[in-house]
Structure 1
């Protein structure tokens, strides 16, 4: 009897040791995962910044070629004016007028180059807009997220603040899809433009993606009425969710986030009057 008690104590101690080791390993893996997520987001930001600056440098090169050509033309006109002045002073006056016109054109070209360069300096800490969405999709795809994008309706111009808010919501939603669903998750992004507003949705299949990786898709797809009810009534919280909601509310948006049982996660933002509500709260800007 004593031997059984000793054996039971030994087994209990061994089990306790294994439990402690498992908890330590689990905590270490969580820390690694958090570090990886932070590094991945930093990499995404840097790649987007690089893409923005690369495109800007290409524009500067093109404008610089035009400016150099304009200056070359200006020098040619000036040389012609000098020779004309020696032989026909009256004609030289007309030639000088051409020199002035060429000079103004060259000056305008140089100003365009400087404008683009200064904008690049101002964007050293980039403030992306909707035009950067393609770069965001590319970076997310490289990270392992399958992004499907569709857009309906006619897009209209928005002020930079509104574009930045929408972009950050999109970026956060896709980052969450990758973080929680893992590689192979499909995220469907939809922009629906109406006469006055915009609806943005990001639907992912993170639960199915995890099931595909573990090979138990059948079990994961089994859901109950309680699961559906919980999905409709639960309040999703978290720092990222709160930030997305706050960004949406700044421009009159209605933000919703919920899990889809057996499938994944859905983020939706409806801006009912974004066309008139993207710079000043409650003011119809064009009127």
Structure 2
């Protein structure tokens, strides 16, 4: 009968514990990644809903104004019709002139009502459409309300984009701003720039999340300086680091679909920077580099 030494039993137990801990760690890591992805998706849905609500509120305000005008016009139309009816009993020629005026007033009122219906139908169609660059300023407003200071500059001549490209750019912009607010917190400043070239577009989003967090957490100027200090090693590490995460991966993939070059990285002592350069966006149809024969 072979003897089993205590240290052998201990090794077996430790090995089993290590395996169990490794399995639990991998499960936790996977659950954490899924949770981050779910939070990112939920945040994007929330922003989309707030944008849609803001747009619909604006349309409802216009509809209310036009509706008030149409109601007043209709009230005047009814009053004049009653007057024409009474005038017809004593002076038929006056009734004819009044009827002619009523026709013109009726056409004006009908036009106002048609405007109301047009705006309502446009709201329904836009509600079903995907957001695009026309929603960018509304996006900035939503982010400002959430506590992110957004500055925007645009240079060059904008040209029409295909719907898929416009949606991809909007999603990159949306994700970058949401990440700036998430990691930098309230008070973070994000600077967005669109640079249009003859055939392309460069999108750049820089934020000062590191400085914003330092401002909130520092009691003195020296404390703030210490929190935002960096060395040349930090600069080199920022240039060589590979940023990962579900949000970054999605932004990179969206850019690549339309021939874009995506970069994201930390700016030591300041914050985070995201750029997407599309050299030939004017002519890119979203299938470049895709094997369509399969």
TM-score by length of 1: 0.70
Counterpart residue number, 2:263: 258
**CA–CA distance in structure 1, aligned partners of residues 5 and 214 of structure 2:** 48
Structure 2 residue ranges without an equivalent (≥5): 218-225, 243-247, 285-294
Equivalent of 1:66 in 57, 60, 69? 69
Counterpart residue number, 2:292: none
How far off is 1:3 after superposition? 4.2
Map residues 1-287 of structure 1 onto 2, 5 A cutoff: 2-141=5-144, 146-152=148-154, 165-166=165-166, 168-176=168-176, 178-179=178-179, 182-184=182-184, 186=188, 187-192=190-195, 199-204=202-207, 218=229, 222-223=233-234, 225=236, 228=239, 238-247=249-258, 255-261=260-266, 262=268, 263-269=271-277
Pick closer, same or farther for the CA change 1:271–1:52 going to 2, 3 Å: farther
How far off is 1:38 after superposition? 1.9
How far off is 1:106 after superposition? 0.5
Pick closer, same or farther for the CA change 1:228–1:153 going to 2, 3 Å: closer
**CA–CA distance in structure 2, aligned partners of residues 134 and 180 of structure 1:** 17
**CA–CA distance in structure 2, aligned partners of residues 220 and 213 of structure 1:** 22
- Report the count of equivalent residues: 263
Counterpart residue number, 1:281: none
How far off is 1:63 after superposition? 0.9
**CA–CA distance in structure 1, aligned partners of residues 55 and 227 of structure 2:** 42
Provide the secondary structure at the position in 2 that maps to 1:24: helix
Out of 108-117 and 161-170, give the one that drifted further.
161-170
Pick closer, same or farther for the CA change 1:130–1:155 going to 2, 3 Å: farther
Question: 1:31-71 CA distances to partner (integer Å, 9 max, x unpaired)?
Answer: 22222222222222222222222221221111111111111
Q: Does the 8 Å contact 1:128/1:167 carry over to 2?
A: yes
Pick closer, same or farther for the CA change 1:209–1:182 going to 2, 3 Å: farther
**CA–CA distance in structure 2, aligned partners of residues 66 and 12 of structure 1:** 81
How far off is 1:130 after superposition? 3.9
Provide the secondary structure at the position in 1 that maps to 2:184: coil
